[in-house]
Structure 1
Amino acid sequence: MLRIKFLEISILILSIILTCSFFTKTHAQNSAIKTNEFIFKDVPFKACHASTIESTNEGLVASWFGGTKEGNEDVRIWVSRKINGEWTDPESVANGIQHQDKRYPTWNPVLFQYPNGPLMLFYKVGPHPSKWWGMLKTSNDAGKTWSTGYRLPEDILGPIKNKPILTQEGRLISPSSTENDGWRVHFEMTSNHGKSWELIGPINDASQYNVIQPSILKHGGDTLQILARSKENYVISSWSYDSGYNWTELKPTNLPNPNSGTDAVTLENGTHLLVYNHSKGEEGKWGGPRTPLNVAVSKDGNSWQNVLTLENEPGEYSYPAVIQSEDGLVHITYTWKRERIKHIVIDPSKL
Structure 2
Amino acid sequence: MKNTLLLYFSFFVGMSHAFAQSASVSKMVPEIEHFELVFQGEMPFEQCHASSIEALGDGQYMMVWFAGTHEKNDDVGIWMAKGSPGNWSVPKLLVKVRNDAHWNPVLFQSPEGRLFLFFKVGKEIDDWETWQIFSDDLGKTWSSPKELVEGDRGGRGPVRNHILVLSNGVWLAPASIEKDKVWNAFVDVSEDKGETWTKSDTLLLDRKLITGEGVIQPSLWESSTGNVHMLLRTSAGKIGRSDSFDYGRTWSVLSLTDLPNNNSGIDIAQIQGNTLALAYNPVGKNWGPRYPMSLAISTDNGKSWTVKMDIEEGEDDNEFSYPSLIYEEGYLVLCYTWNRTNIRFVKIRM
* TM-score, structure 1 as length reference: 0.84
Deviations 1:115-169 (A, max 9, x none): 2231000000001111111000001111111111101112662100000100122
1:238-317 matches, cutoff 5 A = 238-268=242-272, 270-281=274-285, 286-300=286-300, 301-305=302-306, 307-314=308-315, 315-317=318-320
Secondary structure of the equivalent of 2:66? strand
Distance of 1:140 and 1:39 partners within structure 2: 25
Distance of 1:320 and 1:159 partners within structure 2: 15
Give me the identity figure in percent.
Answer: 35
Residues 298 and 307 in structure 2, CA contact (< 8 A), matched pair in contact too? no
Residues 76 and 92 in structure 1, CA contact (< 8 A), matched pair in contact too? yes
Instruction: Give 2:158's aligned amino acid.
Output: P
Residue 158 of structure 2 is matched in structure 1 by: 159
Instruction: Give 1:152's aligned amino acid.
Output: L
Secondary structure of the equivalent of 2:224? coil
Distance of 2:102 and 2:201 partners within structure 1: 25
Gapped runs of 5+ residues in structure 1? Answer: 1-27, 98-102
Q: CA deviation at 1:299?
A: 1.6
Paired residues in the alignment total: 310
* TM-score, structure 2 as length reference: 0.85
Residues 176 and 217 in structure 2, CA contact (< 8 A), matched pair in contact too? yes
Instruction: Give 2:311's aligned amino acid.
Output: L
Of 312, 331, 349, 1:347 maps to 349
Distance of 1:295 and 1:167 partners within structure 2: 25
Residue 330 of structure 2 is matched in structure 1 by: 328
Q: CA deviation at 1:308?
A: 1.1
1:49-198 matches, cutoff 5 A = 49-57=49-57, 59-82=60-83, 86-97=87-98, 103-153=99-149, 154=152, 157-180=156-179, 182-198=182-198
The structure that has the greater radius of gyration is 1
Distance of 1:256 and 1:305 partners within structure 2: 15
Distance of 2:234 and 2:89 partners within structure 1: 35
Distance of 1:109 and 1:41 partners within structure 2: 22
Secondary structure of the equivalent of 1:130? helix
Q: CA deviation at 1:206?
A: 6.8
Deviations 1:6-54 (A, max 9, x none): xxxxxxxxxxxxxxxxxxxxxx96x610110111123200100000000
Residue 21 of structure 2 is matched in structure 1 by: none
Residues 135 and 158 in structure 1, CA contact (< 8 A), matched pair in contact too? no
Distance of 1:192 and 1:206 partners within structure 2: 34
Residues 78 and 91 in structure 1, CA contact (< 8 A), matched pair in contact too? yes
Residue 24 of structure 2 is matched in structure 1 by: none
Deviations 1:272-301 (A, max 9, x none): 1110001122xxxx2211111110111221
Residues 117 and 132 in structure 2, CA contact (< 8 A), matched pair in contact too? yes
Deviations 1:193-233 (A, max 9, x none): 32111111111357242100000022111111111101000
Distance of 2:39 and 2:141 partners within structure 1: 20
Distance of 1:328 and 1:260 partners within structure 2: 27
Q: CA deviation at 1:304?
A: 2.0
Residue 100 of structure 1 is matched in structure 2 by: none
Q: CA deviation at 1:191?
A: 2.1
Gapped runs of 5+ residues in structure 2? Answer: 1-27
